Amino acid sequence: MNKQYDYLIVGAGLYGAVFARELTKAGKTCLVIDKRDHIAGNIYTHEMEGIQVHQYGAHIFHTNNKEVWDYLNQFAVFNRYTNSPIANYKGEIYNMPFNMNTFNKMWGVITPAEAAAKIEEQRKANYTENPRNLEEQAINLVGVDIYEKLIKGYTEKQWGRPCTELPAFIIKRLPVRLTYDNNYFNALYQGIPVGGYTAMVAKMLEGVEVRLGQDYLADKASWDALADKVVYTGPIDAYFAYKLGVLEYRSVRFETEVLNETNYQGNAVVNYTDAKTPYTRVIEHKHFEFGTQEKTVISREYSAEWKLGDEPYYPVNDEKNSALYAKYKELAAGEENVIFGGRLGEYQYYDMDKVVEVALNRVCAELA
């Protein structure tokens, strides 16, 4: 019996939107549902005081993949935003990532040779054979000054534990840049869609039926009856009613505030690298779009423990969770008419460009 739609797409995030766009283009009928009351998933932006606010954390698009870049440029014009965060350590301001501007401020060095010699001197002064924890590892890589001012407090807030109790492997490399270049990403293409990410996703979903505030898992059988195939971008363990156990996430919490001033911190992203300030970062959203509005909107970002029911942010890809995911993946392979995809469906941290890439590859395979 023919069902009403060829595809039911669960999740109106970037993965679901790529699928919806490409399937529709190929003449398939699609219904997109999302349990939230908005499209765009975690890249959702909404307007406050004329400013696009990134509700689920700051999102900066960057990629080396020209195909992905050209693909998204069909749906949005990207501005020239370049991510150059700064660190505030007890009122001292440093450029990130670690580069000649950072070293000049920290030690007064001017040439790359002077900076390299200083870093080497710092590393040697406190070098530990076989580092046993993150502190020893970081000091081995960049020395005490950078560790104390720019790594220690921030990392301890992120993980909720002292660096001496964190494993060394968390930090494998700490790239230092011996040029005066504050551009955080080494990407060929970078920017923010003018008018926000939600407008971009809306354009991708043009001509596609979308129903919001609908939880697929609350009435799975009825939804399944509507379409021949399902593209599921929700959490894979939730799909199977957590029957093998719960996959863990690291979480973040945001406190967003409108301020009666035009410019609070002069930069979109400021990291607070001391241990005392309770938040890790402050995002000032208007600077993503070079805004000149009278007011400003900031979000303070806190690291948070995650428990089932909270918003899942970063998958914890340790041994335990990876083994559990592998088991769910086996179960998923047995679901003949369901495609599991995206950051939650594949329990994988994906940058936006990667999500577009994997979704395009998967939908091409589907249509082949």
Asked whether 297 and 256 are in contact (CB, 8 A), the reply is: yes
Residue 234 found at the interface with ligand FAD (CB under 6 A): yes
Q: Which is nearer to ligand FAD, 61 or 306 (CB)?
A: 61
Given the residues 281, 343, 347, 357, select the one marked as catalytic. Answer: 281
| Other beta carbons less than 10 A from residue 166's beta carbon | 20
* Count of residues of this chain found to bind ligand FAD when the rule CB under 6 A is applied: 35
Asked whether 141 and 123 are in contact (CB, 8 A), the reply is yes
Tokens 């509005």, residue located: 293
d(CA 98, CA 101): 8
The residue from 52, 84, 182, 233 that contacts ligand FAD (CB under 6 A) is 233
Least distance CB 267 / ligand FAD (angstroms): 15
Query: Is 353 annotated as catalytic?
Result: no
When the beta carbons of 144 and 238 are compared against ligand FAD, the nearer one is 238
Please give the residues from 285 up to 344 whose contact with ligand FAD meets the rule CB under 6 A: 313-314, 342-344
Question: Which of 148, 224, 351, 366 touches ligand FAD by CB under 6 A?
Answer: 351
Does residue number 360 form part of the binding site for ligand FAD (CB under 6 A)? no
281 catalytic per annotation: yes
Active site residue 177: yes
* Contact set for ligand FAD, span 171-200 (CB under 6 A): none
Are 358 and 269 in contact by the 8 Å Cβ rule? The answer is: no
Here's the x/- map for ligand FAD, 235-264, by CB under 6 A: it reads as: -----------------x------------
User: Which residue's CB is nearer to ligand FAD, number 42 or number 137?
Assistant: 42
Q: Distance (Å, rounded) from C-alpha 99 to C-alpha 22?
A: 42
Is 355 a binding residue for ligand FAD by CB under 6 A? The answer is yes
Nearer to ligand FAD (CB atom), residue 122 or residue 233: 233
- Alpha-helical segments (H) within the chain: 14-25, 66-72, 100-107, 112-125, 134-142, 144-146, 153-159, 197-204, 220-224, 236-239, 319-333, 342-345, 352-367
Shortest distance, CB of residue 280 to ligand FAD, whole angstroms? 11
Counting DSSP H helices and E strands in the chain, the numbers are 13, 16
Whether the CA torsion 101, 60, 310, 38 is positive or negative: it is positive
User: In the structure encoding, which two tokens stand for residue 174, read together?
Assistant: 């700490």
Of the residues 156, 301, 353, 357, only one is catalytic, namely 301
Minimum distance of ligand FAD from residue 297's CB (angstroms): 17
Say if CB 228 and CB 6 are below 8 A apart. Answer: yes
Active-site choice (177, 197, 313, 328): 177
Return the range that interacts with ligand FAD (CB under 6 A); candidates 7-15, 188-196, 199-207, 292-300: 7-15
> Could you tell me which residues come within 8 angstroms of residue 212 by beta carbon, excluding any fewer than 6 positions away?
12, 33, 34, 36, 37, 38, 39
Q: Which of residues 30-69 bind ligand FAD (CB under 6 A)?
A: 33-36, 41-43, 57-61
Q: Which one of the listed residues 36, 123, 250, 253 is annotated catalytic?
A: 250
CB 255 → ligand FAD: shortest distance, Å?
14
Least Å from the CB of residue 82 to ligand FAD:
13
Residue of the chain from 16, 193, 196, 315 that contacts ligand FAD (CB under 6 A): 16
Pick between residue 135 and residue 353 the one whose CB is nearest to ligand FAD. 353
**Which residue, among 90, 186, 185, 107, has the nearest Cα to 146 in the 3D structure?**
107
CB 32 within 8 A of CB 16: yes
CA 47 and chain centroid, separation:
20
DSSP string, 19-45: HHHHHHHTT--EEEEESSSSSSGGG-E
The residues that are catalytic are: 173, 177, 250, 281, 301, 349, 351
Interacting residues toward ligand FAD by CB under 6 A: 10-16, 33-36, 41-43, 57-61, 215-217, 233-234, 252, 313-314, 342-344, 350-353, 355
